[in-house]
Structure formats: structure tokens, C-alpha cells
Amino acid sequence: MKRNFIKMRNRIMITLAGVCLAVGTVCFATAIFGLNNERLVERNPVPAMKRGVDSASSFYAATSKSQFVSKVSSMPSAVSDMSSATSAVSSTPEAIPETPRNPSGRTAYLTFDDGPSSLTAPLLDLLDKYRVKATFFVVGTNDRDETAHLQEIVRRGHAIGVHSYTHNYRQIYASADAFFADFDKMHGLIQQATGVNTKICRFPGGSVNGYNKATRKAILSELKKRGYVYYDWNVSSGDAERKTSPRMISQNTIQGVMSHRTSIVLFHNTSLKGETLRQLPGILAALQKEGCTFSALTPSVDNRSFIF
């Protein structure tokens, strides 16, 4: 009887010891695993910009239009707001690198047609903020601030070129003489305002358009004789087309620039192009992050790749 009791007690004690050992092992393992998991997270924090937004196009996809637009309610006083909107969505100190961290050898010549306008000053501020030099193909506006705008474009280190004085297709493409009467007027206005004897230009509507079929050859020949270099573009932001959504302006530009080693990008700078300004911070931040360099056009830039 006593032996049976001792046997039973031993079994119970062995069982209890086994249970304690098992529970202890589970607790210990859980504690270690949990700690390791936390350490793993601390050691490898995922940078905000790495969370699925590595490429320029996906950067935009991750940055909704409303994030920009909600901060930018009105133009043109919105440039400072635009800046904060940009830094809010693009890892703050890295948004405007001094020099690209990963130079890609990719160059983009941003061009702005049809200005100057009331949106020239905010555009110049924005380009300064991103340390970007661009090119302005200007028109005659009869605006009393035109001289000041032209001067400021040059003072800030951008290139300036002739677009047209009247921008009236029927009038300027009627003959070579009509074209140069208009062209010379704009060239003179630029030179008088800024002292720059510009040698670069862009045809209204591009070098091949629906109005210059009969006069194109004569105009090109005279232009060459006078030593001017004209530039079309190989990337269009689409900002002049009514059907282009704000998101498409960014997508067209980013994808276009990323698919060329050298690109000339068409934008506009009339007083109606507030959306272009609103999209630019996102565009510039994304492309600078990809190592893209922005330069102003000079007549030495070979125009052959940029003629339609």
C-alpha cells in the first residue's frame, strides 16, 4: 500500500516537472523570438522613400494629386505652399540634392513657351529652389511688366530665345518676309530689355505645323543664313492640351525624360498654366532623385535630335 503510494507520488512529480519544463521552454523561446524580431526591425528601418516608391514613375504614383493640390489652393501666391507640399511628400532634406547622388548622365532641357506672364515670377522662384536652369521661348505680350520679366529670366541664369511676337500662325507663316518681320520684332524686344543677342528660337506650333507647308523651306533657309538655331522637343508635358489631366502632365514628363538620355521638354508659361507650376515640384524632385541634370539651352546644343 505504501509502495503504491510512493510510486504514484513519483509519477505525479515527474509529470509536474515535465509540464514545468515544457512551459518554461515555450516562454523562453517566445521571449527570444520576440526580441529578435524587434531588433530586426530596428536594425533595418525601411526608409520612407524605399517603401515601394523607388522609380520616378512609381514615386508619382505614390504621391496623389490631392496631396499637392490640397496645399496649393491659389496661384500665384502658392509657391511657398508648393514648396512645403513637396517636402511633405518627398523625404524632406533629400528633395533638393546639391548634386545628384546617382548621376545618371541624363540631361533634360526644360523649355517654357508663350511667356512671360504673371506666372513667370513664381516659376523662376520654383526653378531657383530646385537649382534648375531652364529655357524660355518668349512672346510679345504688351504687358507693362514684360521688360522686367525678361530681365529677371536672364538675371536668374536662364536661357532666353525667340518664340514669336504675335504668335499668330496665319500671319507669321504667310511668307518668309512676314515671318521675319515678326521674329525681328521679338528679337529686338529681348535684346533691348536684356542686352542678350539670342541665337536660339522655337517656331510657334513647332517646325512642322499645319500653317508653314508652303513657306517652311524659305524660312528655314533664311534662319540658318542668319545664324539661328531652332529647337523642337522630344518630350511634351501636354500642358497645352485641354484633355491633359494634372496627373498626366507629371506622368508625360517623368516617363518621357526617363526614356531619353537627352531630352527637350515642352511646357508653357502663360497666366493660365497654374497646373504646370503645381506639378513641377513633384516632377523636379522625382527626376533629381533619379540623377537627372537640368540645363539651359545654348546654340551649341546639337538640335538634330530635336527636330520633328
Residues lying near Zn ion in the complex (CB under 5 A): 113-114, 204
202 vs 278, which CB is nearer to Zn ion? 202
- Beta carbons of 55 and 253 less than 8 angstroms apart: no
Residue 110 C-beta: closest distance to Zn ion, Å: 15
User: 224: which 3 cell numbers?
Assistant: 540658318
Residue 300 C-beta: closest distance to Zn ion, Å: 24
Name the one residue in this structure whose C-alpha cell is 499637392.
68
Backbone angles phi, psi at 135, to 5 degrees: -130, 135
Would you mind telling me the total number of residues written for the chain in this entry?
308
Distance from C-alpha of 147 to C-alpha of 150, rounded to nearest angstrom: 5
Residue 46 C-beta: closest distance to Zn ion, Å: 45
User: 201: which 3 cell numbers?
Assistant: 528660337
Task: From 237, 220, 191, select the one nearest 303 (Cα to Cα).
Answer: 220
204 vs 282, which CB is nearer to Zn ion? 204
106 vs 163, which CB is nearer to Zn ion? 163
Residue with smallest beta-carbon separation from Zn ion: 113
Distance from C-alpha of 177 to C-alpha of 166, rounded to nearest angstrom: 14
59 vs 109, which CB is nearer to Zn ion? 109
Residue 271 C-beta: closest distance to Zn ion, Å: 14
130 vs 306, which CB is nearer to Zn ion? 306
Distance from C-alpha of 249 to C-alpha of 163, rounded to nearest angstrom: 22
106 vs 187, which CB is nearer to Zn ion? 187
Task: From 268, 308, 303, 296, select the one nearest 163 (Cα to Cα).
Answer: 268
Residue 163 C-beta: closest distance to Zn ion, Å: 5
Residue 167 C-beta: closest distance to Zn ion, Å: 6
